Amino acid sequence: MDARLNYFAAPTTGKALKHFMAVGRELKQSPLPATTQELVALRVSQINGCAVCIDMHTKDAAAAGESQVRLHLVAAWREATVFTEAERAALELAEQGTRVADAATGVSDEVWARAAKHYDEDQLAALVLLISFMNTANRLNIIAQQPAGDYQVGQYH
């Protein structure tokens, strides 16, 4: 299976996409815990059905020491006892931030307050940017039908 389009090879979008990917690399350096970043990236990708991002973030998280139990339970985090309160708040914000069309008010004040309880302003900004970044990356991959399964850890970093 081949992707419909190679964004990097297209003269108009190649340069823009390199800048976009630089945003993702910069977010990795943010004060938001790396574990939280991978869990959020994985959950957003699950919601959107982006196989290539699910593949990438599952492999990267495992390589960074994340347990298989936690990775398998991200999709059902509400019922799982293996996530911290801070991680649960980040996952909840990621879900509402990804499903903004499903709620008349977007992200609720209650969800925001739970996240703000665990993360400072710099971490919250990184979390919001990560959620937005992942939603954009998911859509780029889904529209182009980027194939999944061949990702090697660290390939895009």
Q: Is residue 156 part of a domain?
A: no
Q: What is the reported pTM?
A: 0.90
Q: Could you identify the residue written with the tokens 């081949």?
A: 2
pLDDT at 7 over 90: no
Note every long-range contact of 1-9, with CB atoms under 8 Å and residues 24 or more positions apart, other chains counting.
1/145, 1/147, 2/147, 3/144, 3/145, 3/146, 3/147, 4/143, 4/144, 4/145, 5/143, 5/144, 6/144, 7/140, 7/144
Residue 142 near residue 49 (C-beta atoms within 8 A): yes
Question: What are the structure tokens assigned to 116, written together?
Answer: 């703000």
Structural domains counted in the chain: 1
Which range marks the domain in which residue 98 is found? Answer: 11-143
Q: Is residue 108 part of a domain?
A: yes
Q: Is residue 153 part of a domain?
A: no
Q: Is residue 127 part of a domain?
A: yes
pLDDT at 146: 78
pLDDT at 155: 60
| Domain CATH for 62 | 1.20.1290.10
pLDDT in tens, 126-142: 999 999 999 999 999 89
Give the 3-state secondary structure of residue 38.
Answer: helix
pLDDT at 142: 92
pLDDT in tens, 14-71: 788 888 989 999 999 999 999 999 999 999 999 999 999 999 999 999 988 999 999 9
